[in-house]
Amino acid sequence: MTDPSNVELIHPLKLFDIAKNEKRLLYTSAPMVRYSKLAFRQTVYAYGTDLCWTPMILAKEFNRNRFARDSDFTISTNGPQPPTIVQFGANVPQELARASSLVAPFSNGVDLNCGCPQSWACAETLGAALMEKRELVRDMAVETREQLRRDGWGVDKEKDISNPKGKSVSVKIRVHKDIRKTIDFITTVLGPEQDRHIDWLTIHPRTRSTRSSTPINLEALEILTSTFGTRVPILLSGDVFALETLPFTSPTLLTGTPTPTITTTTAPRNTIITTTSSSKHPPHNQNPPPSPVASLPHLSGLMSARAILCNPALFAGHPACPWPAVETFLNNVVRCPLPFKLVQHHVSEMCGPGMGPDKSALLTKPERAALMACGNMLDLMDFLDAVRGVRRDGFTL
Ligand SMILES: Cc1cc2nc3c(=O)[nH]c(=O)nc-3n(C[C@H](O)[C@H](O)[C@H](O)COP(=O)(O)O)c2cc1C
C-alpha cells in the first residue's frame, strides 16, 4: 500500500454503465479467501473481467496491525492494477469506516461481506450472521460513506460516476429461507428511495446453510431482482459456470461468444513458458446450453468464484482454461508473488476440468498429481514446460 498513482481511477458504477451500453452484463470475479489475490486478479482482468474483489479482510485486524495490512492487501505499483473492490468482514460501523478510509486511495470501492457461512465468522457476528442484523449493516454502510465523504472522496453514487475521486460502498449477501426477510433486509440497507445507502448489491442466492453443490435459488433471485433491480444494480454470485449456459434469460445477456471491450492494456510483458499456440480451447461450447428457466431483466452483472478459479478466461468466452491464461498467471506471480503452495493449487485448478459443461483439461489426472509433487516454483515451471513441449511434439505423457 504505497503508491496510489497506478490505481485505475474509474468509478465502478461507470463500469456498470459501460457494460449496459454494450448490452451485456458486468463481469466480476468474486472475493475468495486465499485466492483472489493480486496476481489472480490481474489474470482475470487480462481476460475480460471488469471488476475484481479482494478476499475478505478482517477490518478490525487491518486497522490495528501493520503486518495485517501488508499481507492482506497488495496493489500493483508497476503493472495492471485492475479496478478493485476491497471486501471487509466487520460488525462495527467505525471499524468498517476506518478500514475503508485506509484502502480508499488504493481501490475503487469497498464491500461488506454478509455471506460468509463459516461458524467462526458467524460466532463473531461477521459474514452471514449479519443477515440477521439489517440495521447494523445499514449503519455500517452509512458510517463508511460518511467517513469517505469526510476524507474527500466522491460517494454520491451516480452523481460521482465521472468523478476521479468517486468511490463505491457495496454489500454482498445471501438469502434467507423466508424470502420476505431478505426483502426486509434489502429495504433497510438500501434506505431512502432517492438516496440509497449502497452503490450496488451482490446476491448469492443460497441460504447460510445451503451447500454449494445445491443449485442457486433462482426463484428468490427473480423476486429480488424484480423488486429491487430498478433501484440498485444487482450482481449474481453463484453458479456462474459458463457464459452460454446460464439458467436464466436477460436482455443484457448476449448469446454467442462475448467480446469484452474493457480489457487490460498492460498485458504481461515477459512469457515464462514459451508457447506458439494461442489457446488450447477455441471459444465454443461442447454441449448445448440448458433451456433457461428464469427471466432476470433487472440483473446488472455476474460474479464468478469457483468457475473463474478453474478458468480465469471465463469472461473472455473461453469454455475451458487456455494455456495462455496459465502463463499469464505465472507471469503475474513472478511480479506479485504468492506462497508456492497457493500457486500450485491455482495452477492445478486451472489445469483440471472446470465447472462448466466443457470438461476438457490442460493436464491429465496423473499429470496433475505430478504437478502437486513439485517442491518449488522452478520445478513447477520446468514441469509445465516439459508437458507443453511434449504436447507440441504431438505426444501425451
Ligand atoms: C475458496 C472460496 C473462498 C471464498 N471466500 C469468500 C470471501 O472472502 N468473501 C465472500 O463474500 N465470499 C467468499 N466466497 C463465496 C464466493 O464469493 C461466492 O459467493 C460463492 O462461491 C458462490 O459462487 P460460485 O458458485 O461462483 O462459486 C468464497 C468461495 C470460495 C469457493
Task: Tell me how far CA of residue 29 lies from CA of 118, 227, 303, in angstroms.
Answer: 21, 25, 5
Which grid coordinates are listed for 232?
440498485
CB 167 within 8 A of CB 85: no
Q: Are 383 and 376 in contact (CB under 8 A)?
A: no
For residue 110, which amino acid is it?
V
> What was the pLDDT predicted at 247?
86
* C-alpha pair distances (Å), 36 with each of 13, 41, 126, 342: 21, 6, 20, 11
User: CA–CA separation, 364 vs 276, rounded Å?
Assistant: 21
Give the dihedral sign, CA 102/204/209/142.
positive
The cell numbers describing 369, all together, are 498429481
Residue 221 corresponds to which cell in the numbers above?
A: 433471485
Residue 54 in contact with ligand 1 by CB distance below 6 A: no
Q: Whose CA is nearest to atom 23 of ligand 1?
A: 238
Closest ligand 1 atom to 216 CA: 25
- Our mutation pick for probing the ligand 1 site, out of 172, 237, 240, 303, counting the most ligand atoms within 8 A of Cβ, is 237
Spacing, Cα 205 to ligand 1 middle (Å): 12
Atom of ligand 1 nearest to the CA of 206: 22
CA distance 343 to 38: 12
Here the cell at position 368 is 496433475
Round to whole Å and give the CA distance between 100 and 283.
39
Is ligand 1 within 6 A of the CB of residue 168?
A: no
> What is the whole-number distance in angstroms between the Cα of residue 312 and the centre of ligand 1?
15
The pLDDT tens digits along the chain (397 residues) read 444 444 568 999 999 999 999 999 999 999 999 999 999 999 999 999 999 999 999 999 999 999 999 889 998 877 778 999 999 999 999 999 999 999 999 999 999 999 999 999 999 999 999 999 999 999 999 999 999 999 999 999 999 999 999 999 999 999 999 999 999 999 999 999 999 999 999 999 999 999 999 999 999 999 999 999 999 999 999 999 999 889 898 887 754 444 333 333 333 322 222 222 333 333 434 445 556 678 899 999 999 999 999 999 999 999 999 999 999 999 999 999 999 999 999 999 999 999 999 999 999 999 999 999 999 999 999 999 999 888 776 554 4
> Which amino acid residue places its CA nearest to atom 1 of ligand 1?
32
Residues in a beta bridge with 89: 58
DSSP for residue 48: T
Mutate to test the pocket of ligand 1, among 52, 72, 243, 306 (most ligand atoms within 8 A of CB): 306
Does ligand 1 come within 6 angstroms of the Cβ of 237?
yes
Domains of the chain: 4-249 (3.20.20.70)
End-to-end CA distance of the chain: 44
In this structure, which amino acid lies at residue 38?
L
User: For residue 372, what is its C-alpha cell?
Assistant: 502437486
Residue 131's nearest CA partner among 182, 81, 180 is: 182
Q: Is 87 in the pocket of ligand 1 (CB under 6 A)?
A: yes
Angle ∠(320,325,329) on CA atoms, nearest 5: 135
Are 90 and 274 a contacting pair, CB within 8 Å?
no
Radius of gyration of the chain (CA): 20
Beta strand 26-29 pairing with 57-58: unpaired
Residue 106: which of 90, 140, 89, 83 has the closest Cα?
A: 83
Query: Would you say the CB of residue 53 lies under 6 angstroms from ligand 1?
Result: no
Which ligand 1 atom is at minimum distance from the Cα of 241?
26
Q: Is the CB of 40 under 6 A from ligand 1?
A: no
Ligand 1 atom nearest 303 alpha carbon:
26
- φ/ψ of residue 390, rounded to 5: -60, -45
Using the mean position of ligand 1's atoms as its centre, give its distance from the Cα of residue 117 in Å. Answer: 10
346 lines ligand 1 (CB under 6 A): no
Ligand 1 pocket residue status of 370, Cβ below 6 Å? no
- Is the beta carbon of 363 within 6 A of some atom in ligand 1? no
pLDDT given for residue 78 in this prediction: 77
Q: What are phi and psi of 314, to 5 degrees?
A: -50, -50
For the chain, the residue count is: 397
Is the Cβ atom of 205 under 6 angstroms away from ligand 1?
no
CA distances from 1 to 6, 68, 104, 282 (A): 11, 12, 11, 38
CA distance 104 to 146: 13
Burial 330-352 (b: 16+ CB within 10 A, else e): bbbbebbebeeebbbbbbbbbbb
